[in-house]
């Protein structure tokens, strides 16, 4: 093995989960004979000594928030070690390749890129020309099928440093994280994956996933999150894993992410997964407006959302919706309707209030970049998205006020029912309507969840 300080893998944020985005490349590098160090800035301080010893620092950026934090970390890393080879890798890296190269990155990798990271490490070790690793954009993502090793979590912080499961009784349990597949079959226009994967997904071998579960269970996890972009892209693979986890680890529960259309199309699979220990599913409902859903090419309708909730309710599986309520095509009436429906249907128990604040992001390479109705403006490099303005200025003002109110309320520990009531009052005020609504409390009957909210 090469020396432990030669390669440093850095994670900044993965929704409160243990950093899969560095555990996987760490395993690839170790198999290749390297001995990488790892640092998770979500729960650890930047170690200046380790940075100064590094020849290569690879920053994982699986999501928008991680990239914003990663850019700030990169600035500190380059100040400490000006000669370091700096690499960004993950779904959001290639989308912002030119920006990252200007920020001092020597390499920008994305897609199925772990073997490329190994080659980068070898080239950096030998002092070779690294220009071939400076990928310019999403179209250069690697899509080669990989031979996956078991993710290497040795030396990373223990599970009790990360988000926990809160069950329906309010009890907390240690939670792990794993992925059974990568990429996605679908081409939702606002998602960052289609520009990279172009409708392809790759299954991780079952024996690799099950060994990952075993190791995390040994570390104390009694619940795991399947963080696949869509667990039901390969329903046979998902069911085999669910059955085997239930057989080998009878007390282990799990959650997963799946599209609304899959929940509607595969009710038997949903019911079986619930019987095998699934507690909740996260699904990108996004909107109840068929206009918005069509613009985003979501593959489901408003009526399908109701069907998906029914399928999950029959299975005894909580559905936790992720939303995208602020798009150029969403109206103020849509927003008020969303609040009314979620309350009247009893769906608020599974909703994190932050979901009522989300505004459409349009990164470079997005499938929405050619949408004429968006009216895209210049690229906001700090915000990592093209700017756009809503044709109804009330909507942009409402989004700012709702986001501020929810952020402040979460910081104060306000119950979700109170936050939703504040959001409703702001929406009614924006519409010029008197607020005489009394919210039904739902905080005492909340669905199973993790202690960190899902958002990008």
Indicate the residue among 107, 140, 173 that finishes a domain: 140
For the segment 161-180, the average pLDDT, to the nearest whole number, is 95
Give the H or E element holding residue 276: none
Could you tell me the CATH number of the domain that includes residue 424? 3.80.30.20
Could you tell me the CATH number of the domain that includes residue 60? 3.40.50.280
For the segment 174-195, the average pLDDT, to the nearest whole number, is 96
Q: Based on the domain organization, do 110 and 190 belong to the same domain?
A: no
Residue 168 lies in a domain: yes
Q: Based on the domain organization, do 175 and 60 belong to the same domain?
A: no
For the segment 294-303, the average pLDDT, to the nearest whole number, is 98
Q: Based on the domain organization, do 106 and 173 belong to the same domain?
A: no
Q: Based on the domain organization, do 168 and 19 belong to the same domain?
A: no
Pairing of strands 164-166, 449-450: antiparallel
Strand partners, 253: 223
Q: Which structure tokens are listed for 299?
A: 């593959």
User: 176 with 157: CB under 8 angstroms?
Assistant: no
Q: Based on the domain organization, do 73 and 217 belong to the same domain?
A: no
Q: Among all chains, which residue has been given the structure tokens 């560095």? A: 22
Residue 332 lies in a domain: yes
What is the model's pLDDT at position 444?
47
* Confidence band, pLDDT 50/70/90 cuts, at residue 439: low
For the segment 338-347, the average pLDDT, to the nearest whole number, is 96
Give the H or E element holding residue 157: none
Q: Based on the domain organization, do 419 and 381 belong to the same domain?
A: yes
Residue among 422, 391, 394 nearest 409 (CA): 422
Residue 232 lies in a domain: yes
For the segment 429-445, the average pLDDT, to the nearest whole number, is 68
Residue 182 lies in a domain: yes
What is the model's pLDDT at position 4?
47
Residue 158 lies in a domain: no
Provide the 10 A C-beta neighbour count for residue 149: 17
Q: Based on the domain organization, do 171 and 105 belong to the same domain?
A: no
Number of domains in the chain: 2
pLDDT at 263 over 70: yes
Q: Based on the domain organization, do 376 and 425 belong to the same domain?
A: yes
Q: Based on the domain organization, do 281 and 237 belong to the same domain?
A: yes
Say what percent of the chain tops pLDDT 70: 96
Q: Based on the domain organization, do 325 and 438 belong to the same domain?
A: yes
Give the H or E element holding residue 80: helix 64-80
DSSP labels for 18-79? Answer: --HHHHHHHHHHHHTT---EEEETTTS---HHHHHH-SEEEEE--SHHHHHHHHHHHHHHHH
Domain membership of residue 407 as a residue range? 164-450
Q: Using CA atoms, how far apart are residues 57 and 44, in angstroms rounded to an integer?
A: 16
Orientation of helix 416-430 relative to helix 332-344, angle to 10°: 150
Q: Based on the domain organization, do 263 and 311 belong to the same domain?
A: yes
Provide the 10 A C-beta neighbour count for residue 137: 17
Q: Based on the domain organization, do 200 and 330 belong to the same domain?
A: yes
Lay out the sheet containing 164-166: strands in order across: 318-323, 278-286, 253-257, 223-226, 172-178, 164-166, 449-450
User: 256 with 226: CB under 8 angstroms?
Assistant: yes
Residue 159 lies in a domain: no
Residue 2 lies in a domain: no
């Amino acid at each position: 093995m090469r020396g432990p300080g030669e390669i440093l893998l850095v994670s900044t944020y993965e929704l409160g989960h243990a950093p899969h985005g560095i555990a996987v490349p760490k395993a690839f590098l170790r198999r290749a004979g390297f001995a990488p160090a790892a640092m998770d800035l979500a729960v650890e301080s930047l170690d200046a000594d380790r940075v100064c010893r590094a020849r290569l620092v690879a920053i994982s950026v699986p999501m928008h928030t991680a990239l914003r934090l990663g850019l700030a970390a990169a600035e500190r890393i380059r100040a400490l070690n000006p000669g370091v080879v700096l690499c960004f890798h993950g779904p959001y890296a290639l989308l912002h390749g030119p920006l990252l190269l200007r920020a001092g990155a020597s390499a920008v990798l994305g897609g199925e890129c772990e073997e490329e990271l190994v080659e980068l490490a070898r080239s950096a070790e030998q002092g070779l020309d690294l220009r071939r690793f400076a990928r310019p954009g999403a179209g250069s993502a690697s899509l080669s099928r990989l031979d996956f090793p078991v993710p290497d979590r040795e030396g990373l912080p223990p599970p009790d440093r990360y988000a926990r499961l809160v069950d329906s009784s309010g009890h907390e349990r240690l939670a792990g994280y794993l992925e059974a597949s990568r990429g996605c079959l679908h081409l939702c226009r606002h998602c960052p994956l289609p520009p990279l994967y172009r409708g392809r997904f790759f299954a991780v071998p079952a024996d690799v996933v099950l060994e990952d579960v075993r190791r995390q269970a040994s570390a104390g996890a009694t619940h795991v999150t399947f963080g696949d972009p869509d667990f039901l892209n390969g329903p046979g693979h998902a069911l085999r894993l669910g059955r085997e986890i239930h057989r080998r680890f009878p007390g282990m529960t799990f959650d997963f992410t799946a599209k609304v259309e899959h929940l509607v199309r595969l009710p038997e699979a949903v019911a079986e997964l619930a019987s095998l220990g699934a507690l909740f599913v996260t699904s990108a409902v996004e909107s109840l407006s068929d206009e918005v859903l069509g613009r985003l090419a979501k593959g489901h309708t408003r009526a399908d959302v109701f069907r998906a909730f029914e399928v999950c309710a029959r299975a005894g599986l909580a559905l936790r919706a992720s939303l995208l309520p602020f798009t150029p095509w969403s109206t103020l009436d849509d927003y008020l309707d969303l609040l009314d429906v979620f309350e009247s249907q009893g769906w608020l128990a599974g909703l994190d209030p932050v979901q009522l604040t989300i505004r459409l992001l349009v990164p470079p390479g997005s499938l929405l970049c050619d949408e004429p109705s968006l009216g895209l403006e210049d690229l906001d490099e700090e915000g990592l998205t093209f700017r756009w303005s809503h044709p109804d200025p009330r909507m942009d003002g409402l989004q700012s006020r709702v986001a501020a109110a929810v952020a402040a309320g979460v910081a104060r520990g306000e119950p979700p029912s109170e936050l939703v009531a504040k959001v409703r009052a702001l929406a009614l005020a924006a519409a010029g309507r008197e607020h005489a609504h009394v919210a039904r409390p739902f905080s005492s009957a909340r669905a199973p969840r993790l202690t960190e909210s899902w958002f990008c």
